[in-house]
A and B are shown apart, each in its own frame.
Chain A
Amino acid sequence: MPTKSKLPTSEGKVLIELKNVDKWYGGFHALKDINLSVRKGEKIVLCGPSGSGKSTLIRCINHLEKIRGGTVTVDGRVMGETAKSVEGVRRDIGMVFQSFNLFPHLRIIDNCSLALRRVKKMPRDEAEKAARKYLDRVHILEQAEKYPAQLSGGQQQRVAIARALCMEPKAMLFDEPTSALDPEMVKEVLDTMIELARDGMTMICVTHEMGFARQVADRVLFMADGEILEEATPQEFFSNPKHERAQAFLGDILGHQ
């Protein structure tokens, strides 16, 4: 199979493609001419200083942010052309947020089965069965009947992962999934994400967990000021960052580790 990229996992079809994406917040140019293609099964880690546009970039993929220029294509669907394309793409892409965003008035099992029942029109018993399967997969099945507030942050984030997995997405977006967690809970969430990566899920993660990046990423993308400044394998990126902004960034975050 012909491959264009020198990077290791370049086989498989392109699942997510951003072409010349521009995003403005008023007069602030948040994303500048972003080009990125993600193949099926690839794991991408996005890092960079705060305000560099990492979160904005992944939020453009499922249209939580509207772009001004360029195109986002997910599994052949051009995003944002119609309301249907937006809902279709969102069904295909799971997202995990920094602040978990579980629904506080619904039990864990209902948090997970809601979208199956409403979007996929699954009957309740079938939806709950599927939800239990994914709760088991993130090792939290015994909490199914509780409410989000009764769980720890780490447990809530694992539920959020299960909730996204229930929709059987083709790719998962992680927006700083461990930043809001107490240090002792970071590991359980990262372990869950690593298991997911091993199972072959296509993942784009905005994270500062460099250990995680080293372990699972096929590519690390470094962003600053709304641009992708560097793109490399984790080995290359951590041992020999080329861009001076990347060197400074790594110096800052690795200095204390």
Chain B
Amino acid sequence: MLDFSVVVNRWQDLVYGVGSTLALSCAGIVLALCIGLLGAALQRSSRLIFLVPVRIFVEVIRNTPFLVQIFFLFFALPFIGVRMDPTMTAVIALAINGGAYSIEIIRGGVESIPRGQIEAGAALGLSQFQILGDIVMVPALRAIYPALTSQFILLTLTSSVCSSISANELTHYAQRIESETFRSFEVYFTITGLYLVISWLMMTTLSMLGRRLFSYPNQ
């Protein structure tokens, strides 16, 4: 017989798990966005010293499994003296992984901006950096916002992999409840629902944010 009372009894743990997953994901998203913007900006440079490291970073991260990346950070780095707690490691792993994908997505957005926009900025005497920040960034982000949103939701769902190093997040709490109660079906059924709620929350928030930021009319 199914018995959801074990899940109900541990609701505080689950709420805490949902909160942790949201916090972990938001931190990862913000950092991934920073990495994405910085990487996309560096990719516009003509200097190999900027271009090559970004290219290598993107290729290495996009062509290796996330689980291996997080194991590398958590188990391999201590051998060269870099030690972080599991949750910190999880945030950094999510930021690096999401950042690599964001670089490629944002680069696509930047490339979609007509040359004339950049020339108009240059003709007004704006610097390369100002052109990128004031003229290119908002329309570029608007162009790729749906792709970026789904990448960030993917990042949120991927955060469950961080349970493998016992980071503070929902799947980790679920595993703990399950190992204490042996109620696998009830526990995983519940967190499946909770992940759906989290995704829906993220999607709604991001699309509201998008409507606010990119409300200007189309040409």
- Which A residues have a C-beta under 8 Å from some C-beta of B? 62, 64, 87-88, 90-91, 93-95, 97, 99, 101-106, 114-115, 118-119, 147-150, 160, 163-164, 167
- Asked if B9 is at the interface (CB within 8 A of a chain A CB), the reply is no
A118→B123 CA distance, assembly (Å)? 13
Contact residues on B (Cβ < 8 Å of other chain), bracket:
20 to 34
B5 in the interface (beta carbon within 8 A): no
Instruction: Give chain B residues whose Cβ lies under 8 Å from the Cβ of A105.
Output: 138-139, 142, 214, 216
Cβ contacts B51-83/A at 8 Å (1 or 0 each): 000000000000000000000000000000000
Residue pair A104, B123 in contact (C-beta under 8 Å)? no
* Majority SS at the chain B contact face: helix
Closest Cβ–Cβ distance, residue B95 to chain A (whole Å): 27
The answer to whether A103 and B125 touch across the interface, beta carbons within 8 angstroms, is no
> Could you say which residues of chain A place their CB within 8 Å of the CB of B217?
147, 149-150
Residues of the A chain whose Cβ atoms lie less than 8 Å from the Cβ of B120: 95, 97, 101-103, 160
Query: What are 15 A-B interface contacts by the 8 Å CB criterion?
Result: A64-B122, A87-B125, A90-B123, A90-B124, A91-B124, A95-B120, A101-B114, A103-B135, A104-B139, A106-B216, A115-B125, A118-B130, A147-B217, A149-B218, A160-B120
Contact between A167 and B219, CB atoms less than 8 A apart: no
Q: Known A114-B134, A149-B218; judge A103-B117 contact (CB<8 A).
A: yes
A118:B216 contact, CB within 8 angstroms:
no
Asked whether A97 lies within 8 Å of B126 as measured between CB atoms, the reply is no
Closest to A88 in B: B125
> Is A97 within 8 A of B116, CB to CB?
yes
Beta-carbon contacts of B123-155 to A below 8 Å, as 1s and 0s?
A: 111110010001100110010000000000000
Chain A contact residues, majority secondary structure? mixed
* Contact B123 A147, beta carbon cutoff 8 Å: no
Please measure, in the bound complex, the distance between the C-alpha atom of A102 and the C-alpha atom of B122, giving whole angstroms: 13
Q: How far is the CB of A31 from chain B (nearest CB, A)?
A: 18
A89 to chain B, nearest CB (A): 9
Quote the shortest CB–CB distance from A145 to chain B (angstroms).
Answer: 12
**B contact residues around A93 at 8 Å (CB):** 123
Bound together, the chains give a CA A97 to CA B142 distance in angstroms of 24
B119 interface residue (CB < 8 Å to A) = yes
Nearest B residue (CB) for A104:
B219
Question: Could you say which residues of chain A place their CB within 8 Å of the CB of B138?
Answer: 105
Q: How far is the CA of A106 from the CA of B125 in the complex (A)?
A: 18
Assuming the contacts A103-B117, A103-B135, asked whether A118 and B126 have C-beta atoms less than 8 A apart, the reply is yes
Closest Cβ–Cβ distance, residue A175 to chain B (whole Å) = 10
The residue on A at minimum CB distance from B137 is: A105
* Minimum distance in angstroms from B145 CB to a CB of chain A: 13
With A101-B116, A101-B117 known, 15 other A-B pairs at CB within 8 A are A87-B125, A90-B125, A95-B123, A97-B119, A103-B121, A103-B135, A104-B218, A104-B219, A105-B214, A105-B216, A115-B125, A119-B124, A119-B125, A149-B219, A164-B123
Complex CA gap A104/B139 in Å reads 8
Can you name the residue of chain A whose Cβ is closest to the Cβ of B131?
A118
Whether A119 lies near B126 (C-beta < 8 A) is yes
- Asked if B122 contacts A90 (CB within 8 A), the reply is yes
Task: Give the residue name and chain of the A residue nearest to B117 (CB).
Answer: A101
Query: From residue B123, how far is it (CB to closest CB) to chain A in Å?
Result: 4
* Across-interface contacts of A91 in B (CB, < 8 A): 124-125
Q: In the docked arrangement, what's the CA distance between A94 and B122, Å?
A: 11
Instruction: Report the separation of the CA atoms of residues A97 and B125 in the bound assembly, to the nearest whole angstrom.
Output: 15
- Nearest B residue to A107 by beta-carbon distance? B216
Question: In the complex, A119 Cα to B124 Cα: how many Å?
Answer: 8
Q: Which residues of B contact A102 (CB under 8 A)?
A: 120
Complex CA–CA separation, A149 to B125 (angstroms): 24
List of B residues within 8 angstroms of A106 by Cβ = 216
Q: Which residues of the other chain, B, contact A148 by a CB distance below 8 angstroms?
A: 219
Contacts of B218 in A (CB 8 A): 104, 149
Taking a contact as CB atoms under 8 Å apart, the answer to whether B117 and A115 are in contact is no
Q: Which 6 A-B pairs have the closest CB atoms?
A: A101-B120, A115-B124, A91-B125, A95-B123, A149-B217, A101-B116
- Closest partner residue, chain B, to A156 (CB atom): B219
Task: Determine if B123 and A62 form an interchain contact, defined as CB atoms under 8 angstroms apart.
Answer: yes
Chain B residues numbered 171-219 whose CB sits less than 8 Å from any CB in chain A: 214, 216-219
A87 touches B127 (CB 8 A): yes
**Nearest CB in chain A: distance from B141 CB, A:** 10
Closest to B142 in A: A105
